[in-house]
Amino acid sequence: MRRQSSPIHTAPPGLGQDIVRTAAAYQSTVLGLIRHAIAGEGSAETVHSIRTHCRRLQAVLELCDNRDRATVMAQAVSRLSRLRASHVFRQYLMKIEAPDSDIAAVEVWIAGREHKLTRAQAYHKIEQVVWKQALPLITPASLSLKRRLEVLRHEHERVLSQLIKKALEKPRRKRLHALRLMLKTIRYQTEWLPGRASIKQDVLKRIKPVQALLGRYEELADFRRWGKKLNLTVQARIERDWKRARRRARRVPGELAWLPDVLASGQLWMGVDRNETLASREDV
């Protein structure tokens, strides 16, 4: 049975067209990965790639002010979050040379999670969302790309500054996690856009390790909870690694004052024509 045609997304020459073209490439890649997963040919790396590409598509939808579509995309890909976390936990246990019995126990958890996803037809549901919602739609005619980026840049600066301030006051896990998600959004959207090459690459280079530190703390907080059912030696190692990750993560907010300043300067997202729109759509 032939699949119904998806709307054709077009855009004027330039950045808007480039964004739609790149989004379409991501969409095609994700659909291919999902087909592998549905056929039972996926791996831990397949799940990771599906999540990463979908998060990037979510970022460009937010960039284009397609908030409803971005929300649907986020909800769809969140179905794989627990499975991905279990994969990372297994990798961690193998790295620290945990007993085979502990690794086997986690593999049972993973198999159970995969069974639940299959029974719920999770990959089919994600496939439908990616097919129907992944490509950005037109922004209001009065809102040029330049103006949209100005609005978004100031919004990111404001939100990021607030998150940094709250995390400095009380660096709780929930606040640090919110900061990590904001950094991820800024990173992905920066990757989508042009800018002064030296500034852009420097910002991305500085964001990635900070994001990794916060992500490591989040992972180990989960491992600490899950590890209570495992070998005592493994529990002690997780506890030690968690404390180290927490200490490093709590230093992050104090090291991020530079990023709101970069956003405020307007130099990060540059090279956009004054009258260029993000994208347009022509239904057929």
The pLDDT tens digits for 197-250 are 788 889 999 999 999 999 999 999 999 999 998 999 999 999 999 999 999 999
Q: Is 210 exposed, middle or buried (0-12, 13-18, 19+ CB in 10 A)?
A: buried
pLDDT of residue 32: 97
Average confidence (pLDDT) over 120-144? 83
Closest CA to 66 of 9, 127, 126: 9
- For residues 136 and 266, the answer to whether their CB atoms sit within 8 Å is no
How far apart are alpha carbons 12 and 223 in whole angstroms?
Answer: 48
Domain count, the chain: 1
Would you say residue 1 lies in a domain?
A: no
Q: Which residue has the higher pLDDT, 100 or 2?
A: 100
pLDDT in tens, 169-188: 999 999 999 999 999 999 99
Would you say residue 170 lies in a domain?
A: yes
Would you say residue 3 lies in a domain?
A: no
pLDDT of residue 2: 38
pLDDT of residue 11: 39
* Strand 8-10 relative to strand 280-282, pairing: antiparallel
From the CA atom positions of the chain, what is the Rg in Å?
Answer: 21
- Sign of the alpha-carbon torsion through 74, 80, 81, 87: negative
pLDDT of residue 139: 55
pLDDT in tens, 30-62: 999 999 999 998 899 999 999 999 999 999 999
Question: What pTM did the predictor assign?
Answer: 0.85
Cα 218 to chain centroid distance, Å, stands at 14
Q: What are phi and psi of 270, to 5 degrees?
A: -130, 175
Q: Which domain holds residue 176?
A: 8-282
Check residue 78 and report its DSSP letter.
G
Would you say residue 179 lies in a domain?
A: yes
Would you say residue 2 lies in a domain?
A: no
The answer on pLDDT for 66 being more than 80 is yes
| CATH number assigned to the domain comprising residue 17 | 1.40.20.10
